[in-house]
Amino acid sequence: MVSMLAGLGHRLRHLLRAAGLAKSTYYHLLSHPAAVTRPDIEPMVAEIFARTPNGCGHRQIRMCLVHEFGVRVSHKSVLKVMRRMGLECRIRRPNPYRKYSSYRGETGARAENLLNRDFTADRPWVKLGTDVTEFRVADGKAYPAPVCDMGSKEIVARDVSRHPDMAQQRRLLAMLEEKLPEDANPIPHSDMGWQYRHRWWRDRLAGLNIRQSMSRKGNCIDNAATEQVFGHLKDEFHAGREFASYEQFKNELDAYIIHWNTKRRQIRLEGHTPEEFRNMSPTA
């Protein structure tokens, strides 16, 4: 601005006094223009950001740059490039989404809270989390029910239905059984929803030699690992979007889950994707 006004005939010393700028500083800035931060990574940043409908943050982009493109770059540099390109990721905050509740009182048996808020696992197929959530679409509602591996962060089984019923849970457990390694005995953890207290659910897990874990009513932190996955899903996939039909929602959610498992990198996995972590694991 000072240089432009000086070029229009204004006295430089008056301009520098108004700007609070020393003459030596002014000439140093003229001879050392600010360099543009990492213009070479702009195409890669744009490609990574566009992988999901609502984009992603600078940490996710940096992990992709390092692991997929072999680019050495800092978080701050990626953030500067994103700001220059006008790429902004939604900031995660407590959200107003309506939470589906499957609790129907003290019906069925309760399992012990075996995990007791310890969601850590150093390998896949040790601890699993499951729940049902609700989304509104133009022609009704959709109910995704995933099973998430707490070790690899992979969504190992999923089902989407118009109705959160036992037919959905039968399909979900059938998919889980197909994926279950022969010698694995994971602990599946859920809330106190009626599905997980149903005799069929409990008998099916027992038939697979799997011990069930269940959080206590009114303790959402007991199921925090699964709720965290739902939070990312709602922010990265659903927020601000409208779906013309249930089928469109279902198809696009399937594509997002494939992205989650194979492309979305996790800080807790040291920048690896869930699929990469599973393949690196001794149990893979």
146 and 240 assigned to the same domain: yes
Q: What would the mean pLDDT of 76-95 be, rounded to a whole number? A: 83
Q: How far apart are CA 150 and CA 277, in angstroms?
A: 12
Residue 194: CB partners within 8 Å, gap ≥ 6? 102, 103, 104, 107, 108
SS3 at position 177: helix
80 and 215 assigned to the same domain: no
Residue 222 lies in a domain: yes
- 262 conformational bin, left if phi > 0, alpha if psi -120 to 50, beta if neither: alpha
Q: How far apart are CA 106 and CA 247, in angstroms?
A: 34
Q: What would the mean pLDDT of 149-165 be, rounded to a whole number? A: 97
In order of 196, 222, 258, the CA distances from 266 in angstroms are: 29, 22, 15
Residue 99 lies in a domain: no
Whether residue 284 has pLDDT greater than 50: no
Residue 43's domain comprises: 39-85
177 and 254 assigned to the same domain: yes
267 and 227 assigned to the same domain: yes
Query: 263: domain CATH number?
Result: 3.30.420.10
Single pTM value for the model: 0.82
44 and 163 assigned to the same domain: no
6 and 139 assigned to the same domain: no
For residues 11 and 1, is the Cβ–Cβ distance under 8 A?
Answer: no
67 and 44 assigned to the same domain: yes
Residue 272 lies in a domain: yes
154 and 43 assigned to the same domain: no
Whether residue 96 has pLDDT greater than 50: no
132 and 270 assigned to the same domain: yes
Q: Where do we find the tokens 């707490």?
A: 150
For residues 235 and 90, is the Cβ–Cβ distance under 8 A?
Answer: yes
51 and 131 assigned to the same domain: no
pLDDT tens-digit profile of 13-53? Answer: 777 787 787 888 767 777 777 778 899 999 999 999 999 98
Structural domains of the chain, count: 3
